[in-house]
Structure 1
Amino acid sequence: MIDQPPLGPADLSTLERIACELATEAGRLIVEERPRHVDVAATKSTGTDVVTVMDQRSEELLRTRLEELRPQDGLLGEEGGSKESSSGITWVVDPIDGTVNYLYDIPAYAVSVAACVGDVSVAGAWHTVAGAVINPVTGELFHARQGGGAFLRRGEELTLLNVSGQRDLALSLLGTGFGYAAQKRREQISVVAAIIGEVRDIRRIGSAALDLCSVAAGRLDVYYESGLNAWDQAAGQLIVTEAGGVVRGRHGAPAGKELVIAGPDPLVTDLAALIDA
Structure 2
Amino acid sequence: MNPDLGTELRDLALDIAREAVALARQMRAGGIAVADTKSSAVDVVTAADRASEELIRSRILAVRPDDAIMGEEGEDHPGTSGVRWIVDPIDGTVNYLYGLPDWAVSIAAEVDRQVVAGVVVNGSTGVAYAAALGAGATRDGQRIGVRPTPPVAERLVLTGFGYRSDVRAHQAACVAALLPHVRDIRRMGSCALDLCHVADGSGDAYVEEGPQAWDYSAGGLVLSEAGGRFDLLAGRLHQVVPGAPEKALLVGAPDEGWDTFVAALGDAGFLA
Return the TM-score normalized by structure 1.
0.89
1:138 and 2:132 correspond: no
Alpha-carbon displacement from aligned partner over 1:57-102 (angstroms, at most 9, x marks no partner) = 0000001111101101000000024111201110000000000000
CA shift for structure 1 position 36: 4.4
- Segment drifting more, 161-170 vs 71-80: 161-170
For 1:187-202, what aligned pairs fall within 5 Å after superposition? 187-202=170-185
Change (3 A) 1:256 1:164: farther
Alpha-carbon displacement from aligned partner over 1:206-263 (angstroms, at most 9, x marks no partner) = 00000011010000011011111000011000000000000122259xx996111101
Alignment counterpart, residue 210 of structure 1, candidates 193, 207, 213? 193
For 1:73-152, what aligned pairs fall within 5 Å after superposition? 73-118=67-112, 126-152=113-139
State the one-letter code of the partner of 1:223.
Answer: Y
Asked if 2 retains the 8 angstrom alpha-carbon contact of 1:112 and 1:132, the reply is yes
Residue in structure 2 matched with residue 259 of structure 1 by the alignment: 249
CA shift for structure 1 position 108: 0.8
CA shift for structure 1 position 8: 1.7
Residue in structure 1 matched with residue 265 of structure 2 by the alignment: 275
Asked if 2 retains the 8 angstrom alpha-carbon contact of 1:26 and 1:58, the reply is yes
The list of structure 1 runs, each at least 4 consecutive aligned residues, that deviate by more than 4 angstroms after superposition, is none
Change (3 A) 1:251 1:186: closer
Q: Aligned partners of 2:68 and 2:159: how far apart in 1? A: 30
1:37 and 2:36 correspond: no
SS in 2 for 1:82: coil
Q: Aligned partners of 1:260 and 1:240: how far apart in 2? A: 13
Instruction: List runs of 5+ in structure 1 lacking aligned partners.
Output: 1-5, 119-125
Asked if 1 retains the 8 angstrom alpha-carbon contact of 2:234 and 2:249, the reply is no
Change (3 A) 1:47 1:257: farther
Instruction: List runs of 5+ in structure 2 lacking aligned partners.
Output: 236-244, 268-272
Return the TM-score normalized by structure 2.
0.91
Change (3 A) 1:98 1:241: same
SS in 1 for 2:70: strand
Alpha-carbon displacement from aligned partner over 1:106-145 (angstroms, at most 9, x marks no partner) = 0110000111123xxxxxxx22101100002111000000
Asked if 2 retains the 8 angstrom alpha-carbon contact of 1:97 and 1:209, the reply is yes
Asked if 2 retains the 8 angstrom alpha-carbon contact of 1:230 and 1:256, the reply is no
Residue in structure 2 matched with residue 179 of structure 1 by the alignment: 162
State the one-letter code of the partner of 1:247.
Answer: F
CA shift for structure 1 position 37: 3.3
Asked if 2 retains the 8 angstrom alpha-carbon contact of 1:26 and 1:62, the reply is yes
SS in 1 for 2:41: coil
For 1:5-16, what aligned pairs fall within 5 Å after superposition? 6-9=1-4, 11-16=5-10
Q: Aligned partners of 1:195 and 1:276: how far apart in 2? A: 9
The CA RMSD over aligned residues, in Å, is: 1.7
